[in-house]
Structure 1
Amino acid sequence: MSNAHVMLGLLSRGQQHGYDLKRAHDEQFPAARPLAYGQVYATLQRLEKQGLVEPVTVERVDGPDRTVYALTDAGRTELADWLDSPEPPSPYVSNPLAVKVTLTILAAGEQEAHTYLRRQRAAHLDRMRDYTRTKTEPSSSLPQVLAADYALAHLDADLRWIDTALQRVGALTKEITS
């Protein structure tokens, strides 16, 4: 997912300036990394150069000028094409936990790898408790609940991987240290 597509999606609701887009992003995607204003404006400038958005007016409200942007027909087409396309599964597995287990075995030995995995499991369980609280908090918005559901599913998959890795550390140690 790119910031460009996020901006196009947010602009599909109507004309907005960068401050509104940043605020909408942070509200709609509360579990995502917040966007910096610089990212928003840099993205809008790229989209304008590509003909996907256009400035429609400049407002002055207690501060610097604010350019209001709108989607162009090309921007609507780009957004529709992107939304219609499934995200391809990554051809590469980037698992920092597996890298850390391997390097722990190489640097400190099998027992320390077991210790690392148990600490990681505890950290995952703590984070799962946080997301579960978010899901059950009456003031949580539906975007917050959906983000928590997504995070919980991924953390659960990591926990299952950690349990499997704990069972295989001995065999991995023999394989990579022989």
Structure 2
Amino acid sequence: MSATPAAGSTTAHVLLGLLAAGPRHGYELKRAHDERLPRAKPLAYGQVYATLGRLQRDGLVTAVGQDQAGGPERTSYALTPAGRAQLDSWLERIETPAPYVTSTLLAKVAVALLVADADKARTYLVAQRRAHVERLRELTAVKTAPGADLGAVIAADFAIVHLDADLRWLQTTLERVANTHGEVRS
């Protein structure tokens, strides 16, 4: 029996963290995930239950009861001491910066520069920059909304910093395209 979720299994560790607050069933875990990580990709119910099954198999969570309040029977799960130790270990590990950049944005720009002329590449870059600026406005509105949830603000901050880095890179790339082709427009 392994007591370690698969390497890179962020979902398993997030579920362990949500269970640290007390027992919950899968529906509650999915809802709590989506509320606490509002800018993350929402979890599918199937993913929640499959992950709970693996965590239970590995002794990191245990079923603690059944509930059928107005719907289908739901099993509640609780964190085991081994699960808490695994969660603490995961939280203490420093994340290594990724050795490779994997981004659809980078791939599209690289391909656009390979297959398109400078004007088409520039058009794509400018359109992408506009989309990034619009998303920055949306996220700023989330942060400044009256009574904004701390989790939503932190998630918005994270996304804004990444969008800002993308915008700086897009501008640098536009300048490089212009310089390579003897242009000064951007």
TM-score past 0.5 threshold: yes
Q: 1:88 aligns with which of 78, 85, 96?
A: 96
**Shift, 1:121, TM fit:** 0.7
Matched, 1:129 2:137: yes
Q: Which residue of 1 aligns with 2:149?
A: 141
Q: Which residue of 2 aligns with 1:107?
A: 115
> What SS class does the counterpart of residue 177 from structure 2 fall into?
helix
Matched, 1:75 2:83: yes
Question: Separation in 2 of the partners of 1:81 and 1:60?
Answer: 34
Matched letter for residue 142 of structure 1: L
Give the TM-score taking structure 1 as reference length.
Answer: 0.92
Q: Which residue of 1 aligns with 2:55?
A: 47
Q: Which residue of 2 aligns with 1:21?
A: 29
- Between 79-88 and 106-115, the greater mean CA deviation after superposition: 106-115
Judging changes above 3 Å, is the alpha-carbon distance between structure 1 residues 172 and 77 closer, same or farther for their aligned structure 2 residues? farther
Question: Separation in 2 of the partners of 1:105 and 1:27?
Answer: 39
> What SS class does the counterpart of residue 32 from structure 1 fall into?
coil
Matched, 1:60 2:72: no
Aligned structure 1 segments of 4 or more residues deviating by more than 6 angstroms: none
**Shift, 1:140, TM fit:** 1.8
Q: Which residue of 2 aligns with 1:12?
A: 20
CA deviation vs aligned residue, 1:76-129 (integer Å, no higher than 9, x gap): 110000000011111111132232122112222111111111111111000000
> What SS class does the counterpart of residue 46 from structure 2 fall into?
helix
User: Greater share of helix residues, 1 or 2?
Assistant: 1
> What SS class does the counterpart of residue 70 from structure 2 fall into?
coil
Question: Separation in 2 of the partners of 1:172 and 1:11?
Answer: 54
> What SS class does the counterpart of residue 127 from structure 1 fall into?
helix
> What SS class does the counterpart of residue 148 from structure 1 fall into?
helix
Matched letter for residue 149 of structure 1: D
Give the TM-score taking structure 2 as reference length.
Answer: 0.88
Matched, 1:152 2:160: yes
Question: Separation in 2 of the partners of 1:110 and 1:21?
Answer: 49
**Shift, 1:172, TM fit:** 6.5
Matched, 1:118 2:102: no
Matched, 1:97 2:105: yes
Matched letter for residue 175 of structure 2: Q
**Shift, 1:171, TM fit:** 6.3
**Shift, 1:46, TM fit:** 0.6
Task: Provide the identity percentage.
Answer: 54
